[in-house]
Structures are given as structure tokens and as C-alpha cells.
Amino acid sequence: MSDINYYNIQRSIERNTCPEHGKHPKFSKTINGFSITACCENFRASLVKKAENAVAEETKKAIEKIFKDAFR
């Protein structure tokens, strides 16, 4: 779905800081979805869960917008 706002997801992921190393992750949109690069696997795993939730929320918003525009 091309209406998903990956910029919002990127901002919400990249503002996190690793509690162990104090570094920020890097979020990248890919052909198959997204990629997160982090300093350690524990931090990356927690960010993947946050990103999945954020993608679900952005998808919901995009679908609601499509239906709202369709029934005007």
C-alpha cells in the first residue's frame, strides 16, 4: 500500500536511544517493507515490534482515508 506514511514511522523509531549503548537506530524503507539497523540485537528486536505496531496504525489510517474519500 503506497499510502502508508513511512516518514512518521521513521521518526518514531529513530528518536529511540539504546538503553545499553546510548545510540540511535537507522530506519530504512525497502522494496519489501522496512529495515532497522541498531547497535545490538536486543534493541533492534524491541524496535521491530514498535515498527510493526506503527505500520499497522499507519495502514489503518490510510484505509480509513481511502474509505472516507470514496464515500463523499
Is the predicted pLDDT of residue 1 greater than 70, yes or no? Answer: no
> What pLDDT shows up at residue 60?
93
Cβ-in-10-Å burial (0-12, 13-18, 19+) of 37 comes to exposed
Residues 6+ apart with CB under 8 A from 16: 24, 25, 43, 47, 50
Band of pLDDT at residue 33, cut at 50, 70 and 90: confident
Counting Cα atoms < 13 Å in the Cβ hemisphere of 18 gives 16
Of 41 and 68, more confident? 41
Name the residue ranges covered by the structural domains of the chain. 6-70
CA 23 – CA 56 distance, rounded (Å): 26
> What pLDDT shows up at residue 2?
60
